[in-house]
Amino acid sequence: MPLPIAIRVDYLLHRQGLQAQQGVDNLRIFPYNEHTAQNWITVPGELIREQGNEWMQTRRWQQVPLLLGCVALLWGIECINALLNHRLNRWGILPRTSAGLVGIPLSPFLHGSFTHLILNTVPLVTLGGLVAFYGTRIFLTVSLWIILLSGTALWLLGRSAYHIGASSVIFGYFGYLVARGWYERSVTALLVAFLTLGLYGSIVWGVLPTRSYISWEGHLFGLLAGVLVARSATPQRRDTPLPNLMVR
């Protein structure tokens, strides 16, 4: 049974005020008339789901060019590096040296061989795609902080050798996605976290010093950086219920 007009107007105004207090963007508020208000009040869930599905589909496709651009950049750099006999790898992270500082932002873009890059490409696209699912700005912000935090820790504490490769970013994405599910605990974040664990849960063994030529420190610091970014940047849930509508 439709609510009286006065109550529907109160509901719309209360909804706007509550959303403003919570600091979230207002849902679309249509110009008020009796028919619109009745539809808004009697089936708000359908309107929200319809708008949400369209927004999710649009956002999903917007991330594809971004991921493809990142992959193209990595492969372009590796092609140039291979032609130069991988002399660009001297721009990797060399711990506790002034020359190695430049490697903090550059090392994820450098690889030792095409095989090295191939092994990193698939998990980078998969996990990067899951991070980009949350939005372009989140993807770029998370990527930047993982690179800076893991690179700085590696420069301070890593072994005295050149450290290169996107593995630290991959481990950072893994840590971010799993930790976001833990801290946020929304249905979406938990599903993404479980999917991440199911696909790449075994990579956690990569933080152990199993082979001397693998930068396990980069893996470890990337993982920790991802968890730290998730802890710092994950929005807290705001499930404040609407109070019961009262006729005045």
Residue 194 domain-assigned (yes or no): yes
**Is the same domain home to 89 and 9?**
no
Helix/strand/coil for 163: strand
Beta carbons of 223 and 204 less than 8 angstroms apart: yes
**Is the same domain home to 21 and 98?**
no
Nearest CA to 138 among 70, 24, 229, 22? 229
**Is the same domain home to 200 and 119?**
yes
pTM over 0.85: no
Residue 80 domain-assigned (yes or no): yes
Beta carbons of 162 and 109 less than 8 angstroms apart: no
pLDDT of residue 54: 52
**Is the same domain home to 72 and 15?**
no
pLDDT of residue 210: 87
- 20 Cβ contact list (under 8 Å, min separation 6): 26
Q: What is the CATH number of the domain that holds 84?
A: 1.20.1540.10
Residue 48 domain-assigned (yes or no): no
Q: How many domains does the chain have?
A: 2
**Is the same domain home to 226 and 147?**
yes
**Is the same domain home to 106 and 184?**
yes
**Is the same domain home to 27 and 114?**
no
Q: pLDDT tens track of the chain, all 248 residues?
A: 444 444 444 444 455 554 555 554 444 433 434 444 444 444 455 444 555 555 455 555 677 888 999 999 999 999 999 999 999 999 999 999 999 999 999 999 999 999 999 999 999 999 999 999 999 999 999 999 999 999 999 999 999 999 999 999 999 999 999 999 999 999 999 999 999 999 999 999 999 998 888 999 999 999 999 999 999 987 665 444 444 444 44
Helix/strand/coil for 6: helix
Per-residue DSSP letter, 61: H
Residue 98: give the domain boundaries: 63-233
**Is the same domain home to 117 and 37?**
no
Taking CA atoms, 185 is separated from 42, 168, 200, 230, 236, in Å, by: 29, 25, 20, 12, 9
What does the alpha-carbon distance between residue 213 and residue 161 come to, in Å, rounded to a whole number? 10
State the burial class of residue 170 (Cβ atoms within 10 Å of its Cβ: 0-12, 13-18, 19+).
Answer: buried
Residue 74 domain-assigned (yes or no): yes
State the burial class of residue 195 (Cβ atoms within 10 Å of its Cβ: 0-12, 13-18, 19+).
Answer: middle
Residue 149 domain-assigned (yes or no): yes
Residue 34 domain-assigned (yes or no): yes
**Is the same domain home to 80 and 38?**
no
**Is the same domain home to 98 and 9?**
no
Taking CA atoms, 220 is separated from 84, 107, 206, in Å, by: 30, 16, 8
What does the alpha-carbon distance between residue 233 and residue 190 come to, in Å, rounded to a whole number? 16
Residue 184 domain-assigned (yes or no): yes
**Is the same domain home to 70 and 38?**
no
**Is the same domain home to 72 and 27?**
no
Q: Measured in whole angstroms, how far is the alpha carbon of residue 239 from the centre of its chain?
A: 22
